[in-house]
Each structure stands twice: as structure tokens, then as C-alpha cells.
Amino acid sequence: MNKSKIAGWVITAAAVIASQFIPAEEGNKLKSYPDGAGVWTICEGVTHGIGPGMVMTEEECSDLNKSAREEYQAAVVDALRVEVTPQILAAHTSFAYNVGKGGYRKSMTLRETNKGNFAAGCRAMMNYHSSGGKDCRVRGGGCYGLYGRRQREINLCLSGVAP
């Protein structure tokens, strides 16, 4: 049972934001490929059940992407115990989409947010700045894009924190 206090309109608004934010971060590849950590990936970063040589159509990816975003948003909503804004929920959904549901549930981002420390929760996303054992804050390390993603997730998240 969902113990979240998140209103339906917040969930809907966050889904709209995430439906634009996540594709901009992930891209959409119709042929499977190993991501920076060596995990087989397709479409907008979907990894579950993906292996080498898989190919999907635009329509198949569109359906898979929507389903994946909904799945991750539901996991975030289930884990949150406080009311949040659409921007915070969308940023948390993108973050969970990237670090995984287990990583999100164990994250300082979730812990701080559930304590009501919204800005600290947003900033804690930067604790996840590595991929495949590489520090993505370092230019030329092959994963610097992840550092930029974290900055954009943090900015989106903070835009939903009251001044």
C-alpha cells in the first residue's frame, strides 16, 4: 500500500516534466548497446531484460519508455513519505531511473527528502557521480555527461523547493 502523501495532480504534473526531462538525458537508441558501466541498454536507458543484438522500432521504444518512466515514478512515489512538488518528484524519478530503484531507496537523496530537508535531498544527488568505477566529475573520464545530468537533476529539484 502506498503511504505517500503525494497528491494526484503532483504525480500527473511530474510525469509530464519527466516525459521531457528523461528523454533529453537518455537519448533514444533503437539498437541495444552497453552503457558506460557495461550494462546492456536500449531505448531511453532501459536495461531490464536487454541483451546484445536487440533492436526495437520507434513505436516499441515509445511504449517501453513510457512504461519504464511510469514504473520508476511509482517506485519513487512509494518511497517518499512527505509531500513534494512536481519538480522534486520529476527530478527524483530521473535520478531513480538512472541509479536504479534499489540505489534510490538507499540514497541520501531519499533520506533527506523524507526528513523534510528538500534542498539537502536535491543536492545529495551529486553523491552519485561515478559510473563503472569512473569518477564522472573528471573531464575526459568517459562519463562526464553523468556529472552534467546530476547538475540538471539538482537544478530541476531545487526549482521545486520553496525559497
pLDDT tens digits, the chain, 163 residues: what are they? 345 689 999 999 999 999 999 999 999 999 999 987 789 999 999 999 999 999 999 999 999 999 999 999 999 999 999 999 999 999 999 999 999 999 999 999 999 999 999 999 999 999 988 777 777 787 877 667 788 999 999 999 999 998 7
Burial of 91 (0-12, 13-18, 19+ CB in 10 A): buried
The amino acid that residue 100 corresponds to is G
Question: Domains in the chain, ordered, with CATH?
Answer: 8-158 (1.10.530.40)
User: What per-residue confidence (pLDDT) applies to 49?
Assistant: 93
User: What per-residue confidence (pLDDT) applies to 124?
Assistant: 97
User: What per-residue confidence (pLDDT) applies to 93?
Assistant: 98
User: What per-residue confidence (pLDDT) applies to 3?
Assistant: 53
CA distance 32 to 6: 35
User: What per-residue confidence (pLDDT) applies to 2?
Assistant: 46
CA distance 158 to 118: 8
CA distance 138 to 45: 22
User: What per-residue confidence (pLDDT) applies to 138?
Assistant: 76
Q: Which distant-in-sequence residues (6+ apart) come within 8 Å of 163 by Cβ?
A: none
User: What per-residue confidence (pLDDT) applies to 150?
Assistant: 94
